[in-house]
């Protein structure tokens, strides 16, 4: 198709479906340019390997392999970080896969999500609303809280958590909102905070989310951020690690062994 034909077709599609404009505005390359205007010195976070996070890294995870889920390595990261910790809080339950896995290590787990009613009022699929917590609600010791992180007063929980997972709405404004609120109300001196979707995949940084993290976090804490290699996660920790530079087209230095079996 010629460029003129393509332009005409694109304009016709946008006229019929104006929300398509968001695809252009949210394009990662445009987001990256905007990101670099503020953070020119920081194209990506320093990377940490699993082997440097944990001496004897060996995790198994429960995973449905369905839409909106995490990578096995993301869940393995949460489980690895959960060791030796006593409390976990997450924003974003969805089916409850992440909290289900962490609850195998930490007894005191809380997951926070929009209520079914609020999801319905957003005009989203009824079935989507119903499936929230479908996995995690099978574990009665997991506390399910409902609310909108945009308006919820996290201070009202009156509690600080050892491990926190931010995995709610991934728009810039909401990542910034969730990050700022978590650091204002839920962290203590040694809390570890993990963000999902810092990257679209382990080799492609998601600049909209990355900017939300940096803008929501006090500047003096930026140096405590890492990207765990082979995951889509950014981590905040006061621990120091051996790091390396992020590479977009990496030569794999090792392989993970993955065994799959069906658990009812």
Ligand X SMILES: C[S@@+](CC[C@H](N)C(=O)[O-])C[C@H]1O[C@@H](n2cnc3c(N)ncnc32)[C@H](O)[C@@H]1O
Q: Does 73 bind ligand X (CB under 6 A)?
A: no
Q: Does 97 bind ligand X (CB under 6 A)?
A: yes
User: Which of 189, 187, 130 has its CA nearest to residue 164?
Assistant: 187
Q: Does 83 bind ligand X (CB under 6 A)?
A: no
Q: Which stretch binds ligand X (CB under 6 A): 24-32, 53-61, 167-175, 252-260?
A: 167-175
Quote the least distance from Cβ 220 to ligand X, whole Å. Answer: 27
Show the CA angle centred on residue 236, arms to residues 239 and 137, nearest 5°. 115
What is the helix (H) or strand (E) element at residue 242, kind and residue range? none
Tokens linked to 11:
């304009």
User: Which of 102, 58, 69, 63 has its CA nearest to residue 192?
Assistant: 102
Binding residue (CB under 6 A) for ligand X from 80, 87, 93, 191? 93
Q: Does 92 bind ligand X (CB under 6 A)?
A: yes
Q: Does 202 bind ligand X (CB under 6 A)?
A: no
Nearer to ligand X, 72 or 187 (CB): 72
Q: Which stretch binds ligand X (CB under 6 A): 6-14, 94-102, 182-190, 210-218?
A: 94-102
Q: Does 138 bind ligand X (CB under 6 A)?
A: no
Q: Does 110 bind ligand X (CB under 6 A)?
A: no
If binding means CB under 6 A, how many residues of this protein chain bind ligand X? 22
Q: Does 179 bind ligand X (CB under 6 A)?
A: no
Q: What is the Cα 125 distance to its own chain's centre?
A: 22
Quote the least distance from Cβ 204 to ligand X, whole Å. Answer: 17
- Residues 24-50 as b/e (b if ≥16 CB within 10 A, e otherwise) read eeeeeeebbeebeeeeeeeebbebbbb
Longest dimension (CA), the chain: 61
Q: How many CB atoms lie within 10 A of CB 222?
A: 14
Nearer to ligand X, 110 or 113 (CB): 113
Tell me if residue 81 falls in helix, strand or coil.
helix
Q: Which stretch binds ligand X (CB under 6 A): 2-10, 22-30, 66-74, 217-225?
A: 66-74
Q: Which stretch binds ligand X (CB under 6 A): 18-26, 51-59, 64-72, 205-213?
A: 64-72
Answer yes or no: are the C-beta atoms of 192 and 164 closer than 8 Å: yes
Q: What is the rounded CA–CA span in Å between residue 151 and residue 181?
A: 10
Answer yes or no: are the C-beta atoms of 90 and 177 closer than 8 Å: no
Q: Which residues contact 117 (CB under 8 A, 6 or more apart)?
A: none
DSSP state of 45: P
Q: Does 47 bind ligand X (CB under 6 A)?
A: no
Binding residue (CB under 6 A) for ligand X from 10, 68, 239, 244? 68
Q: Does 113 bind ligand X (CB under 6 A)?
A: yes
Q: Does 87 bind ligand X (CB under 6 A)?
A: no
Q: What is the rounded CA–CA span in Å between residue 249 and residue 203?
A: 7
Q: Which stretch binds ligand X (CB under 6 A): 15-23, 38-46, 162-170, 203-211?
A: 162-170
Residues at the interface with ligand X (CB under 6 A): 68-70, 90-95, 97-98, 113-114, 119, 132, 148-150, 167-169, 174
């Amino acid at each position: 198709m010629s460029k003129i034909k393509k332009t005409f077709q694109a304009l016709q599609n946008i006229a019929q479906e104006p929300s398509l404009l968001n695809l252009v505005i949210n394009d990662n390359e445009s987001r990256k340019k905007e990101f670099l205007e503020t953070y020119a010195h920081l194209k990506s976070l320093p990377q940490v390997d699993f082997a440097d996070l944990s001496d004897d890294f060996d995790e198994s995870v429960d995973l449905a392999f369905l839409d909106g889920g995490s990578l096995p390595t993301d869940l393995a990261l949460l489980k690895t970080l959960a060791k030796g910790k006593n409390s976990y809080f997450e924003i974003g339950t969805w089916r409850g896969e992440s909290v289900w896995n962490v609850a195998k290590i930490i007894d005191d787990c809380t997951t926070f999500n929009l209520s079914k009613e609020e999801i319905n009022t957003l005009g989203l699929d009824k079935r989507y609303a119903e499936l929230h917590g479908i996995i995690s609600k099978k574990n009665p010791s997991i506390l399910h809280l409902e609310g909108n992180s945009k308006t919820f007063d996290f201070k009202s929980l009156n509690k600080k958590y050892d491990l926190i997972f931010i995995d709610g709405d991934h728009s810039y404004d909401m990542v910034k909102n969730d990050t700022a609120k978590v650091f204002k109300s839920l962290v203590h001196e040694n809390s570890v905070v993990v963000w999902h979707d810092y990257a679209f995949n382990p080799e492609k940084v998601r600049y909209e989310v990355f900017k939300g993290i940096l803008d929501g976090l006090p500047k003096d804490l930026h140096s405590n951020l890492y990207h765990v290699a082979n995951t889509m996660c950014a981590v905040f920790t006061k621990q120091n690690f051996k790091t390396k530079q992020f590479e977009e087209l990496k030569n794999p230095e090792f392989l993970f062994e993955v065994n799959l079996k069906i658990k009812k």
